[in-house]
């Protein structure tokens, strides 16, 4: 409780006490039991009540979230040109009175839901798009009275600024902006741009009339039942087309995978064939080199071929026998010192 309210309470109690004392004094006087110095007591009560009432009428406490408009019978314009700031203020008793205006943030909601908006029932904004479709917009306007323009708001709008200014301007600007977009843009690609244009329009209008736009919230966009059904059918068709596109892409990827697998197998076969050919080439070169070495060895030692032939027949034979009708025995190459064996 502030001092102004406290003084008003004391003044009221003083008046009650004065009236009670007067009644009591009259009753005692009727019973021939008058109270001594009744007039003085009544005068004291009256002076105290009048004084407290006068002082309380001149004191005004302005809350931090308020500004006070002083309507004055002695001011040339009928009001003070400066609003009362927060705190305990003094006005001329009985010649001036204060009208308080909130400067805190306020919200005005227009919604299709009956219990959400400022007005009960469907209060959404019906608007028509550039291509002739009707939509229903739910929106909230967050605003506040400009502390520097409180007097302007009082003169132009008084307490009607929420319905006559905020509501009317918001609905009109929303309809104007929506009419510049197609319905598909409103709900998709241009929604943010549309919201921004509505916000800019409200800022300009509110500033002209002493209000500050804090924020504009585009809550929801609804369609007529017929258009909603057509959108649903379109979405179903798009989903089916997307699914078909996905199947085609899947098949294409499978075909590409099969092609790459076949290409890989072909490349592997080519690499394997090249490897085998290279291997045969190396083997042939090695055989040719071996034959060359063998040929050179035979030139230097003609009997080596005979020796190799015999060792291939039986590795343990050390003596070669001629036919039985030939009386000759030849030692094998490399075994000249071995004794010859005679077969009878």
Q: What does the pLDDT look like over 218-243, one tens digit per residue?
A: 998 888 787 767 666 776 777 778 88
At 272 the three-state DSSP class reads helix
Within 10 angstroms of residue 230's Cβ, the number of other Cβ atoms is 13
At 59 the three-state DSSP class reads strand
Burial of 70 (0-12, 13-18, 19+ CB in 10 A): buried
What local confidence, expressed as pLDDT, does residue 117 receive?
Answer: 75
DSSP output for 101-135: EE-S-EEEEE-SSTTTSSSSS--PEEEE-TTS-EE
Q: Give me the residue spans of the domains in the chain.
A: 3-101, 106-223, 229-300, 302-334
What local confidence, expressed as pLDDT, does residue 233 receive?
Answer: 73
DSSP output for 65-112: TEEEEEEESSSTTSB-SSPBPSEEEE--TTTEEEEEEE-S-EEEEE-S
- Given pLDDT bands bounded at 50, 70 and 90, which one contains residue 338? very low
pLDDT tens track for 81-111:
999 999 989 999 889 999 999 999 999 999 8
Q: Which fold has domain 106-223?
A: Tetrahydropterin Synthase; Chain A (3.30.479)
pLDDT tens track for 40-66:
888 887 888 888 888 888 889 999 999
Higher pLDDT: 323 or 338? It is 323
Instruction: Give, rounded to a whole angstrom, the gap between the first and last alpha carbons of the chain.
Output: 156
Task: Decide if pLDDT at 308 tops 70.
Answer: no
- Given pLDDT bands bounded at 50, 70 and 90, which one contains residue 276? confident
- For the chain, give the percent of residues with pLDDT over 90: 33
Of the candidates 104, 102, 106, the residue with the CA atom closest to the CA atom of residue 68? 102
Residues 6+ apart with CB under 8 A from 266: none
């Amino acid at each position: 409780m502030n001092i102004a309210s406290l003084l008003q309470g004391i003044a009221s109690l003083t008046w009650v006490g004065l009236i009670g004392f007067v009644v009591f004094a009259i009753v005692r006087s009727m019973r021939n039991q008058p109270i001594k110095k009744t007039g003085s007591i009544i005068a004291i009560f009256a002076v105290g009540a009048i004084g407290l009432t006068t002082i309380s009428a001149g004191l005004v406490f302005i809350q931090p979230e308020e500004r006070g408009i002083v309507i004055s019978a002695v001011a040339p314009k009928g009001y003070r040109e400066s609003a009362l700031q927060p705190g305990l203020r003094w006005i001329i008793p009985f010649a001036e009175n204060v009208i308080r205006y909130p400067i805190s943030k306020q919200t005005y909601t227009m919604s299709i839901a009956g219990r959400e908006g400022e007005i009960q029932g469907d209060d959404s904004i019906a608007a028509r798009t550039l291509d002739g479709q009707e939509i229903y917009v739910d929106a909230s306007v967050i605003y506040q009275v400009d502390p520097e323009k409180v007097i302007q708001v009082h003169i132009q709008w008084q307490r009607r600024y929420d319905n006559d200014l905020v509501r009317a301007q918001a609905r009109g600007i929303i309809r104007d902006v929506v009419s510049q977009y197609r319905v598909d843009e409103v709900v998709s690609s241009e929604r943010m741009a549309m919201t921004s244009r509505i916000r800019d329009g409200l800022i300009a209008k509110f500033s002209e009339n002493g209000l500050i736009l804090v924020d504009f919230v585009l809550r929801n966009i609804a369609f007529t039942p017929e258009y909603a059904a057509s959108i649903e059918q379109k979405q179903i068709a798009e989903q089916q087309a997307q699914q078909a596109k996905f199947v085609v892409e899947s098949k294409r990827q499978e075909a590409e995978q099969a092609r790459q697998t076949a290409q890989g197998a072909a490349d592997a076969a080519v690499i394997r064939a090249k490897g085998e050919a290279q291997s045969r080439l190396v083997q042939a070169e090695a055989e040719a080199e071996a034959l060359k070495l063998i040929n050179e060895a035979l030139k230097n030692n003609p009997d080596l071929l005979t020796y190799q032939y015999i060792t291939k027949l039986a590795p343990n034979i050390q003596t070669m026998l001629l036919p039985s009708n030939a009386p000759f025995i030849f030692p094998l190459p490399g075994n000249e010192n071995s004794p010859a064996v005679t077969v009878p």
